[in-house]
Structure 1
Amino acid sequence: MRILQVGCGGLGSLIAEATLAQGHELTIVRRSHKAVPPGAQVLYLDVVAGEGLSTLHTIKADILLYCLAPVEGQSYQQTYVEGLRHVLAHVSLSQLKHVFFISSTGVYGEQQGEWIDDATPAIPADAEGQVILEAERLLDELDCGHTALRVSGIYGAKRLYLLRLLQNPARWPTKTHWTNRIHELDVAAAVVHLYQHLVDGKSLPGHCILTDGVPAAQHEVLQWLAAQQNLPAPETPPLQPQSGKRIRNGFLQQTGFKLQFADYRAGYASILSSLK
């Protein structure tokens, strides 16, 4: 497959490497003049600004992946909606078989420990979720296939939020807060797995949740991390009231995808080992 990938930050670089490893042809569009994984073609364009994008029309691609995250000075509206709109206005849509958009489970507004799956209606509870859902709806106007990949909390070698939180007792949870996550390497592998799904002639839905499917209360994860490092741990808060949501990954499982890191224990064990 010929892939056009817009965005090549931390997650985008991992997706690009996984894409090339599977033998796909890859063209990357990025704003900053940084290196891209060997084997990829690159165009240095600012799709959020929307200038000089006419060259996008010359790129022959079967799949478009939009993989941008806000940088300093850019709003969600600029990054997700305006940037995506600019790209869709300039690429050769007639050649595209499928468009993927890296979205977020933030489009689900549930905050009382409810279970969420691919069939749950997306009703955001905050402005950021509303903007991301607005971007998803741009895909609905396309004639080709399209899938919003609703990714839960991403963690990995350089995404160490919980390890920093463990060092700050003043911010430890005082109630049961449900969290959901997926390792960055599993996100990259899942994207390429779905590319292969298309190569094999299989259809994809309009959205798909990417998460490990093993929700955990934040205090539970912190307690486990503390035990691994012989550090003080937060106490177990009352079960009620609850906050957050619990997210399943039903469709991703149905495709046959196998996670490298099945839950937070597997993922953080690898991370902690690499930090020694």
Structure 2
Amino acid sequence: MRTTVSILGCGWLGTALGRSLLRKGWKVKGSVASTQSYNRLEVSGISAFYVKAKAQSLTVDYNSFFNTDVLIISIPPTRTDCVEDSYPKKIEQVIAKVEELNIKKVLFISSTSVYESKNAEVKEGDEGTPEKASGRALLKAEKLLLDNPAFQTTVIRFGGLIGYDRNPARFVQGKNTPVFDAPVNLIHRDDCINIITQIIEKNIWGEVFNASSPEHPGRNEFYAKAAKISDMPIPVFSKDKGSYKVINSDKLIEALDFKFAYQSPMDYLKEVEEWAYRI
């Protein structure tokens, strides 16, 4: 029997995930919140729906979007969400629809920003008080989902997303202050898609997983090389690490018997170099 998956938020990750699941023979529904994105999604082959989550309401063109075996929530907080603390309220609106239509499995895409920078390695359970408002908003949203007994939720906390058209050299262009030499916590989109797919296939629910490449080169090494091979200005770097954290993904690796295609973010820079060379 084919699995039906609905992806709430088909952006850069969600659309690529949907295409991958389609190739595996799954039925995939995807949501967007603008007409332009709707047209783009239709062309991809994913069944397109309009869903817009607000703090006080959830606008849905067709409830059939929520007729699914698994709901993947991939809508990150915006700056407005964080300032007004409205993001958890948006998730509450989604939860109400999940309960109404009796969805039993939810996969929530979160971020490693939920961790406090403790200048040390962090595992699931080491959250502390995140410095960023987005991290605090995500942590509240995670709790709302995980604590709800009406359905099972698994949370994936991804590191910074890289791959394909996301050239990391652009992340540090135009910096007016030196870039701290903290360890990087990054993950390639291909690994993200494989992790999500395996969690669904292996029916792993009620868990929280960190997901970041196991190796963590320093920002100086990583971004200097990215800028050099992309023929971009190399930013000024500091020897100081600043405040940082190192994301430990051992729980995920053990639970899924998972092998990262990109053990280190440096592996992706080989592709960036090849791409730059071809151009």
SS across alignment from 1:69? coil
1:180 and 1:215 in contact (8 A); partners too = yes
1:28/1:124 CA distance change after superposition, 3 Å? same
Tell me whether 1:251 sits opposite 2:258 in the alignment: no
2:186 and 2:213 in contact (8 A); partners too = yes
Deviation at 1:134, TM superposition (A): 0.8
The one-letter code of the counterpart of 1:19 is: L
1:24/1:110 CA distance change after superposition, 3 Å? same
Within 5 Å, which residues of 2 pair with 1:230-269? 237-238=238-239, 242-254=242-254, 255-269=256-270
1:138/1:89 CA distance change after superposition, 3 Å? same
Tell me whether 1:193 sits opposite 2:198 in the alignment: yes
Deviation at 1:111, TM superposition (A): 3.9
Deviation at 1:150, TM superposition (A): 0.7
Deviation at 1:2, TM superposition (A): 1.4
1:172/1:52 CA distance change after superposition, 3 Å? closer
Counterpart in the other structure of 2:121: 115
Q: Which runs of no fewer than 5 residues in structure 2 stay unpaired?
A: none
Within 5 Å, which residues of 2 pair with 1:118-137? 118-137=124-143
Deviation at 1:3, TM superposition (A): 1.0
- Counterpart CA distance in 2 for 1:106 and 1:89 is 26
- Counterpart CA distance in 1 for 2:85 and 2:61 is 19
1:236/1:206 CA distance change after superposition, 3 Å? same
Further displaced range: 124-133 or 85-94 = 85-94
- Counterpart CA distance in 2 for 1:19 and 1:10 is 15
- Counterpart CA distance in 1 for 2:45 and 2:270 is 32
- Counterpart CA distance in 1 for 2:31 and 2:251 is 29
Within 5 Å, which residues of 2 pair with 1:53-68? 53=60, 55-56=62-63, 59-68=66-75
SS across alignment from 1:46? strand
The one-letter code of the counterpart of 2:253 is: Q
Deviation at 1:172, TM superposition (A): 3.7
Higher RCO (CA-CA < 8 Å; seq separation 6+): 1
SS across alignment from 1:131? helix
Counterpart in the other structure of 2:94: 87
Counterpart in the other structure of 2:274: 273
Indicate the percent of aligned positions where both proteins have the same amino acid. 21
Tell me whether 1:42 sits opposite 2:53 in the alignment: no
**CA deviation digits over 1:134-189, x for unaligned, max 9?**
11111112332111111111112332343452x5575442x432221001222122
1:172/1:158 CA distance change after superposition, 3 Å? farther
- Counterpart CA distance in 2 for 1:123 and 1:138 is 17
- Counterpart CA distance in 2 for 1:82 and 1:169 is 34
The one-letter code of the counterpart of 2:249 is: N
Within 5 Å, which residues of 2 pair with 1:67-86? 67-70=74-77, 74-76=80-82, 80-86=87-93
Counterpart in the other structure of 1:12: 14
- Counterpart CA distance in 2 for 1:110 and 1:41 is 40
The one-letter code of the counterpart of 2:25 is: G
- Counterpart CA distance in 1 for 2:85 and 2:4 is 27
2:7 and 2:74 in contact (8 A); partners too = yes
Deviation at 1:123, TM superposition (A): 3.2
Counterpart in the other structure of 2:28: 26
Tell me whether 1:162 sits opposite 2:169 in the alignment: yes
The one-letter code of the counterpart of 1:151 is: F
1:21/1:136 CA distance change after superposition, 3 Å? same
1:269/1:171 CA distance change after superposition, 3 Å? farther
1:18 and 1:189 in contact (8 A); partners too = no
**CA deviation digits over 1:185-220, x for unaligned, max 9?**
22122111211111xxxx334311111121222112
- Counterpart CA distance in 2 for 1:269 and 1:179 is 17
1:178 and 1:242 in contact (8 A); partners too = no
- Counterpart CA distance in 2 for 1:244 and 1:206 is 25
Between the two proteins, the alignment pairs up a number of residues equal to 267
SS across alignment from 2:193? helix
Q: Which runs of no fewer than 5 residues in structure 1 stay unpaired?
A: none
- Counterpart CA distance in 2 for 1:45 and 1:233 is 41
Counterpart in the other structure of 1:146: 153
RMSD: 2.9
- Counterpart CA distance in 2 for 1:258 and 1:54 is 39
